[in-house]
Structure 1
Amino acid sequence: MGATSSNQQQGTLIRFEGIGKTFGRVRALIDIDFAFMRGECIGIAGHNGAGKSTLMAVLAGVYAPTQGRIEVEGQPAPRYDARAARDAGVRCVFQELSLCANLTVAENMTIVHPQLRGRGWRARATALMREKLDEIFPGNGLKCNELVSDLTLTQQQMVEIARGFTVTDTPVRLVILDEPTSSLDAHTADQLLAFVRHAAQRGITCVLITHMLGEIERVADRVMVMRDGGIVGVLPRDASSRTAIIQAMGQQLEADRTPAAVRGHDVRSDERAFRWNVGAHKRTSIEASRGEIVGFAGLAGQGQTEALLAIHEAATRHGAARVKVAFVAGDRGRDGVFPVWSIAQNLDMRWLLGGAKPRHGLVDRSAARALVEAWRTRIGIRGAPMNAGILSLSGGNQQKVLFARALASDATLILMDDPTRGVDVGTKRDIYRLVHDEAEKGRTFIWYTTENEELSHCDRTYVFRSAAVTRVLAADECTEEALLAASFEEQAA
């Protein structure tokens, strides 16, 4: 008997009937009918702004539905809030991490597990976190007495996930994972997906929201496809191919841009190449020619982001041959968006950085509006008017704003720290097209990505380990096997 049939016999854990959610005049959810079965893995797919995160916030009790009813284990739940969700065994790993940076890993456990108090609470919290981290991410090397602010984004994601699956008093029955692999490398993501399948087999319902459709194919028993706040299809496991999901999302199936290995990218090698020495003791030499797309790869946390920051510093250092450079941050919450500013202000910052041409000594607001509107249309920023706060957008749309900000500048060097985190498949294709088009105009891109398939768009790839480069792979050498081998190699002599 298949996994789904077995789970259906076990019964429904939580049922949504006619669930709707509005924010003012915005209808975020429309007539959601869905049953979350015990012990199954449910994949949720849809474009940015489709309502996925809002639906999960209702499931976690963060938002009360505007209409509809919720049942828990067959019983009506007239007051379904965060406490009721927790009592039902619901846990959530949100897309935007909720860790407190000034606390240690162990201390962050008490935020969602208030039962960890009294004498010996720290030792118990440490033991619980250590056990769960080792179960989900073997060989992680994390220490529970470290401050969260000292961890990489990947390590923070691992802590958040482990905390969500940890049991203190109420058993964990359903875990929501909202873009859980967006900042994990391929190896660590594989560990998580294997654990998710194992957890479902043990009776824990896992809800996986991700734009990585291959991950949904691998682990989901059913796939809920959302568009414009509603469910447009529920696909069983044997019909949830990447092609079927994309078609249900309403995306056009277009061939991806020809990879660099075949494309014969017109790198301007006759022009003087950029060159930097970065990494531990400046042992790593990075080169990039004008019009070239250079990839950074390897396991997460091996010095790729630090290399990008070192390049940015070298390119902008006072007294050096300065290069106009733009940076697309990977951790948008900490390093990317200005949370109290509008979407438009976050996108066009030339007035702040001195790059805009003033009119009569003042900012040319009409030119700024035209630029913002042009990039809103070009990159498909949706979900709120451009004068709304940046935090009113979904995480994926916030990432689009950061990408548009970089390309709207006059920078000749674009540094990208995993820029497609939380971005839907259609937008990814648009971003790839924009990168190629801008490279052909002479812009240089240095692109760190945790998605190995994206490296096919790069002319060369530097593979990092322990803050040094182990191999440099040409476009036609950049296979999954070669990347994995290089990721575990020591630095090349």
Structure 2
Amino acid sequence: MANVLRMLGIHKRFGPVKALGGVDFELEAGEIHALLGVNGAGKSTLIKILSGVYTHDEGTIEIDGQPVELGSPRAAILAGVATVQQHPELVPDCTGVENIFLGHEGRKPGLFARIDRTAMRAAAQKLLQRFPIEIDLEARVGEMPAVDREIVAILHALRNENTRILILDEPTSTLTEREKASLFQLMRSLRAAGIAIIYITHRLEEVFEIADRFTVFRGGRNVATLTSQEATERGISIPELLLDEKAGDLFPERDGKADGDVLLEAKGLGRSGLFSGVDFELRRGEILGIFGLVGSGVDELSKTLFGAIRPDEGTMQVKGKAVRFRGPHDALKAGIFLVPGDRRTEGLAMTQDVVFNTTVAHLGRASRLGGLLKFGRNRLDTEALARDVGLQPFELDRPVSAFSGGNQQKIVIAKGLFRDSDIYIFVEPTVGVDIGARAKLYTLIRELSRRAGVIVMSSDCDEVHGLADRVMALYKGRPVETGGWNASRDQLLSAGIMGARAA
């Protein structure tokens, strides 16, 4: 097929740092092309050049065989390039139709300018006829499931009829398997319509499911472009391409059966309409894994254990003492720390720097008598934790909004380590984190469990099964029998996605 995009010899530097060193990248019309690379490999820089956020230092860009200068996001849109960010900025109180045409609503003629809602609805229906997908665009975006919000963001990007290239940045990071199937259905429709898709993902299994080709970035260069079939036939390991080394075992070795004291116990814990009947014990020296898809009640359970949601049934004990938390402040006093799954809204102050976000978790440790901050000490502590989690780039004065999603996740985990608690709850701990950094974070969590009790809650079955000493599953708010604490990966997966009890 003909190339819709050619990027040749692209260089980009940020001061002394070489982000891209002579990258070549080609995209065919009507293909889904996965872009892979660990955090800092250069893929985000390439995409920002293509979307007009950055200008390249050297090289050429051609769209449909014609040289183009993409000096601004507007220039990129006019050239037919549209981008859907990992966290689309939508207006939750507006409908899907209103979000699609936000800023391009059209006006009815007359003395008083009014939005032409009839024309907007008609244009939205034309989009759905062109790219068939089931979605209620009259619903408010804030009430939509995650996949529908992603679809609205894509339709917003496609409202311009000249769009030829669509960039999707980690679109499945918060989707269930069923929601992912709906998104992939839309992507296939776009491909059939001749739209080329650049698909950025850290979920390597999705490459073989949806992508026609994939390109691996490492150290600011394109190191391989292959089809999935070529990779399989030649026995090429994508993780080894990403890391330039043998991938090895992603998960650290387990220490054996934990025999520490019981730190946290739940009996019949529930909250009406969210989850019910949850029983478990957490001991010092172990990782308890809880697997559940989005909507299973896992997130609500984590917030209940942290005091943000009050249970209406069951009991909790911390170190043998019955507790009823009035809020997170009580949970913190009891020695519980939550690393939330939604880092942007619940885990980080996005406009503040790394030092602030790390030390705000424990102001008692971060300040002297009278409330004066220990600026020097706090910076040294943050530097040590940033090294532990592998923060890149190592710029502690940078606002966290300027870091990639994976590095933002590292900062949230550093914040938890600064707190020095007895009980840690990690929700989706490696969302948006590349495979190399993921292994390091798993090792940190394992080391943490040697002095504390750790709960890992995740919609990634492999993560739960590979990391935890004991496992359980939630399905539609109810615990499901997994065949004992030593459940196999398949038993855990079946329990979490179908509610099927182990044989």
TM over 0.5, shorter chain: yes
CA separation of 1:366/1:81 partners in 2, compared to 1, >3 Å: closer, same or farther?
Answer: closer
Pairing 1:232–2:223 present: yes
Counterparts of 2:250 and 2:160 in 1: how far apart (Å)?
Answer: 51
* Cα-to-partner distance string for 1:288-322 (whole Å, 9 max, x where unaligned): 31233233333312322111111100675379785
Counterparts of 1:218 and 1:401 in 2: how far apart (Å)?
Answer: 31
- Structure 1 residue 165 displacement after superposition: 4.7
1:217-366 aligned within 5 A: 217-240=208-231, 244-256=237-249, 263=254, 265-268=256-259, 270-271=261-262, 273-275=264-266, 277-280=269-272, 283-291=276-284, 292-313=286-307, 316-317=325-326, 323-350=334-361, 352=363, 354-356=364-366, 358=368, 362-366=372-376
CA separation of 1:273/1:344 partners in 2, compared to 1, >3 Å: closer, same or farther?
Answer: closer
* Cα-to-partner distance string for 1:195-254 (whole Å, 9 max, x where unaligned): 535643553322111111121233333222112333233234334369632222235424
Query: Letter of the aligned partner of 1:323 in structure 2?
Result: A
Helix, strand or coil at the partner of 1:477:
coil
1:325-474 aligned within 5 A: 325-350=336-361, 352=363, 354-356=364-366, 358=368, 362-441=372-451, 443-456=452-465, 457-472=467-482, 474=484
Counterparts of 1:420 and 1:428 in 2: how far apart (Å)?
Answer: 6
> In the alignment, which of 56, 59, 62 is matched to residue 65 of structure 1?
56
1:183-198 aligned within 5 A: 183-193=174-184, 195-197=186-188
Counterparts of 2:229 and 2:283 in 1: how far apart (Å)?
Answer: 46
Q: Is contact 1:225-1:232 (8 Å) kept?
A: yes
Query: Letter of the aligned partner of 1:434 in structure 2?
Result: L
* Cα-to-partner distance string for 1:63-96 (whole Å, 9 max, x where unaligned): 3334332211011213554344334443322123
Instruction: Give the share of equivalent positions with the same residue, in percent.
Output: 28
Count of residues in correspondence between the two structures: 471
Which sections of structure 1, spanning at least 5 residues, go unmatched?
1-9
Q: Is contact 1:89-1:173 (8 Å) kept?
A: yes
Counterparts of 2:192 and 2:131 in 1: how far apart (Å)?
Answer: 19
CA separation of 1:112/1:178 partners in 2, compared to 1, >3 Å: closer, same or farther?
Answer: farther
Query: Letter of the aligned partner of 1:156 in structure 2?
Result: A
Q: Is contact 1:61-1:80 (8 Å) kept?
A: yes
- Structure 1 residue 420 displacement after superposition: 0.8
Counterparts of 2:6 and 2:105 in 1: how far apart (Å)?
Answer: 27
Query: Letter of the aligned partner of 1:479 in structure 2?
Result: R
Q: Is contact 1:42-1:208 (8 Å) kept?
A: yes
Query: Letter of the aligned partner of 1:448 in structure 2?
Result: M
RMSD: 3.4
Q: Is contact 1:13-1:36 (8 Å) kept?
A: yes
Q: Is contact 2:147-2:183 (8 Å) kept?
A: no
Q: Is contact 2:481-2:495 (8 Å) kept?
A: no
CA separation of 1:106/1:336 partners in 2, compared to 1, >3 Å: closer, same or farther?
Answer: farther
1:128-207 aligned within 5 A: 135=133, 144-150=137-143, 155-165=145-155, 167-170=158-161, 172-193=163-184, 195-197=186-188, 199-207=190-198
Counterparts of 1:320 and 1:390 in 2: how far apart (Å)?
Answer: 27
Pairing 1:82–2:91 present: no
> Which segment is superposed worse, 240-249 or 454-463?
240-249
* Cα-to-partner distance string for 1:234-282 (whole Å, 9 max, x where unaligned): 234334369632222235424326688xx47432365364216133267
Query: Letter of the aligned partner of 1:249 in structure 2?
Result: L
Q: Is contact 1:185-1:451 (8 Å) kept?
A: no
User: As a proportion of its length, which structure holds more helix?
Assistant: 1
Counterparts of 1:36 and 1:115 in 2: how far apart (Å)?
Answer: 34
Pairing 1:483–2:493 present: yes
CA separation of 1:486/1:78 partners in 2, compared to 1, >3 Å: closer, same or farther?
Answer: closer
Q: Is contact 1:328-1:336 (8 Å) kept?
A: yes
Helix, strand or coil at the partner of 1:405:
helix
Counterparts of 1:476 and 1:259 in 2: how far apart (Å)?
Answer: 17
TM-score normalized with structure 1 length? 0.83
Helix, strand or coil at the partner of 1:345:
helix
Counterparts of 1:109 and 1:375 in 2: how far apart (Å)?
Answer: 42
CA separation of 1:437/1:239 partners in 2, compared to 1, >3 Å: closer, same or farther?
Answer: farther
Query: Letter of the aligned partner of 2:339 in structure 1?
Result: V
Pairing 1:43–2:34 present: yes
2:320 maps to which residue?
A: none
Helix, strand or coil at the partner of 1:231:
strand
Query: Letter of the aligned partner of 2:276 in structure 1?
Result: R
> Which segment is superposed worse, 418-427 or 239-248?
239-248
Helix, strand or coil at the partner of 2:90:
coil
Helix, strand or coil at the partner of 1:430:
helix
Counterparts of 1:359 and 1:245 in 2: how far apart (Å)?
Answer: 52
Query: Letter of the aligned partner of 1:426 in structure 2?
Result: G
Which sections of structure 2, spanning at least 5 residues, go unmatched?
108-114, 311-322
* Cα-to-partner distance string for 1:303-361 (whole Å, 9 max, x where unaligned): 22111111100675379785212222222221222122111211222553x23463797
> In the alignment, which of 183, 207, 210 is matched to residue 216 of structure 1?
207
Query: Letter of the aligned partner of 1:404 in structure 2?
Result: A
Counterparts of 2:94 and 2:117 in 1: how far apart (Å)?
Answer: 19
Q: Is contact 1:279-1:467 (8 Å) kept?
A: no
- Structure 1 residue 426 displacement after superposition: 0.9
